[in-house]
């Protein structure tokens, strides 16, 4: 059995540093984020198949944002492997045109050109204004600045291929959809749709949490993860 943690676009394994699941969680890194870029443009399908191939045995998947999108595709493409799914701050479908625009902006202007707008989508104004800088904001700022813009563009184009809506009803494993009440990038309705369409879904709302819930609110997010794992028997 493996508990697989899957991070958002632009995040590597270190983004989980503040999260304590009280279990042996494996931090999966997507191409271009903490590891080299893929040789060809990734898609949700290729990323999902890579997750399934990289971790043996039954899987308990926990994903934030892009990681939650990939988790949906792992569960749909490899249902016999996935015992439970927890997706946070994500939806069942992306806006392809918007994702392509974000990819083009990163390629055209580099990471500095998209840095501040990205941070504003990801964190609450209070966290962004905090001095000394909030550890989660500091990590995101540092990691994004060091990122190859082509990797960021690859991630957005992969997200552009995300559309699990027609198949959400096929999900038979326990599904927990987590929403942050202050998520500027993925509002509550997107998480609610996943919870309602999955056969055994439930919705958890974390008050005050932004899009990067694992970075700004790691302690509270850890509690939500542990409750989910206890509920599905993954910490027995």
In the 3-class helix/strand/coil scheme, how is the chain assigned residue by residue?
Answer: CEEEEECCCCCCHHHHCCCCCCCCEEEECCCCCCCCCCCCCCCHHHHHHHHHHHCCCCEEEEEECHHHHHHHHHHHHCCCCEEEEEEECCCCECCHHHHHHHHHHHHHHCHHHHHHHHHHHHCCHHHHHCCCCCHHHHHHHHHHHHCCHHHHHHHHHHHCCCECHHHHHHCCCEEEEEEECCCCCCCHHHHHHHHHHCCEEEEEEECCCCCCHHHHCHHHHHHHHHHHHHHCCCCC
The full set of domain ranges for the chain reads: 2-93+163-231
Q: Residue 21: its pLDDT value, please?
A: 84
Which of 11-25, 61-75, 79-93, 154-168 comes out lowest in average pLDDT?
11-25
The answer, yes or no, to whether residue 12 has pLDDT greater than 90, is yes
Mean pLDDT on 98-103 = 99
25 vs 206 pLDDT, higher one = 206
Q: Residue 236: its pLDDT value, please?
A: 47
Q: Residue 22: its pLDDT value, please?
A: 67
Q: Residue 24: its pLDDT value, please?
A: 77
Q: What is the pLDDT of residues 171-207, one digit of tens each?
A: 999 999 999 999 999 999 999 999 999 999 999 999 9
Residues, the chain = 236
Q: Residue 234: its pLDDT value, please?
A: 86
Superfamily, domain 2-93+163-231: Alpha/Beta hydrolase fold, catalytic domain (3.40.50.1820)
The reported pTM is: 0.97
Structure tokens given for 145: 């600045």
């Amino acid at each position: 059995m493996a508990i697989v943690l899957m991070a958002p676009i632009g995040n590597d394994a270190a983004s989980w540093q503040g999260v304590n699941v009280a279990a042996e969680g494996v931090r999966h890194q997507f191409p271009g984020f903490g590891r080299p870029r893929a040789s060809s443009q990734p898609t949700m399908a290729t990323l999902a198949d890579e997750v399934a191939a990289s971790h043996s045995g039954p899987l308990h998947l926990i994903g934030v944002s892009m990681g939650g999108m990939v988790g949906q595709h792992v569960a749909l493409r490899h249902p016999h492997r996935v015992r439970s799914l927890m997706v946070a701050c994500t939806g069942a479908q992306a806006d392809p045109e918007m994702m392509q625009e974000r990819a083009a902006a990163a390629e055209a202007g580099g990471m500095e050109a998209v840095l501040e707008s990205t941070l504003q989508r990801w964190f609450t104004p209070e966290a962004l204004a905090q001095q000394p800088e909030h550890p989660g904001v500091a990590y995101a700022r540092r990691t994004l600045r060091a990122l190859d813009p082509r990797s960021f563009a690859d991630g957005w184009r992969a997200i552009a291929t995300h559309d699990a809506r027609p198949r959400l009803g096929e999900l038979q494993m326990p599904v927990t959809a987590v929403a942050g009440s202050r998520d500027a990038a993925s509002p509550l309705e997107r998480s609610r749709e996943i919870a309602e369409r999955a056969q055994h879904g439930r919705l958890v709302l974390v008050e005050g949490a932004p899009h990067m819930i694992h970075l700004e609110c790691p302690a509270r997010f850890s509690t939500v993860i542990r409750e989910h794992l206890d509920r599905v028997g993954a910490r027995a």
